[in-house]
Amino acid sequence: MSDQGTTRKEFGRLARRGVHDGRIVNLSIDTVRFPDGSVGELEFIHHAGACAVLPVAGQLEESDPDVLLIHQYRYATGGYLYEVPAGMPAWPGEPWEEVARRELEEETGWQAGRLIPLTSIYTTPGFTDEVIYLWLATELEPGTSKLDRDEFLELVRIPLSTALEWVQEGRIIDGKSVAALLFAARFALPTD
């Protein structure tokens, strides 16, 4: 397929019309030049990004360590989901490791003695620039939980093997949580 004279630098956003600036996201209609040179409009959601943390209770070297999940009410899904703790920066430019540490403690009441970066994921690149940075938390120590007004959750401690079964069964369906569990199980945690 020919690029028809369009170089990589020649495609992208040409114009942006703001529609809504909110607490979590900003929505715009962007006029875009596509790689083939054509022009069209796309709905675009800007998101500041987030961190998600898989907390491992006990020793990292255990063959089937316990992990901490939250069972959280999510209005958009019409009910509760099993998730890893996650959240957004409290202020622009807050370092991602600080975001991960803060959100872990606020949502679980535990602090990470050690925080290991895993990977990052785009949540839905068809319409948003949201990136979630995935972390593994170990050497947990008691802290203080501090839930936001719209957070309704229960802390759940289960073996990693059970969490992986829940992913396979479709009981854990939150994308960031699936990615964090599978990535950690494959690349960061011991397996049987």
Q: Which residues, 6 or more positions from 88, have their beta carbon under 8 angstroms from its beta carbon?
A: 24, 48, 49, 50, 99
Regarding whether 35 and 58 lie in a shared domain, the answer is no
The one-character DSSP state at 186 is I
Q: What's the total number of domains in the chain?
A: 2
- Cβ contacts of 101 within 8 Å, gap of 6 or more: 111, 112, 115
Q: pLDDT digit string (tens) for 143-183?
A: 999 998 989 999 999 999 999 999 999 999 999 999 999 99
Predicted TM-score (pTM) above 0.85:
yes
Domain with 77 in it: 50-188
What pLDDT is attached to residue 2? 45
| HSE, side-chain direction, 13 A CA sphere, residue 91 | 2
pLDDT, tens digit (0-9, with 9 covering 90-100), for 35-51: 999 999 999 999 999 99
Q: Please determine, for residue 3, whether its predicted confidence score (pLDDT) is greater than 60.
A: no
Is residue 1, in this structure, part of any structural domain at all?
A: no
In a domain? residue 3: no
CA separation for the pair 32, 16 (Å, rounded): 9
pLDDT digits (tens, 9 = 90+) for 65-91: 999 999 999 999 999 999 999 999 999
d(CA 172, CA 145): 23
Detail the DSSP E strand segments found in the chain. 12-21, 25-33, 39-47, 50-57, 66-74, 79-83, 86-87, 110-122, 131-142, 153-159
Do 14 and 78 fall within a single domain?
no
My answer on whether 69 and 106 are in the same domain is yes
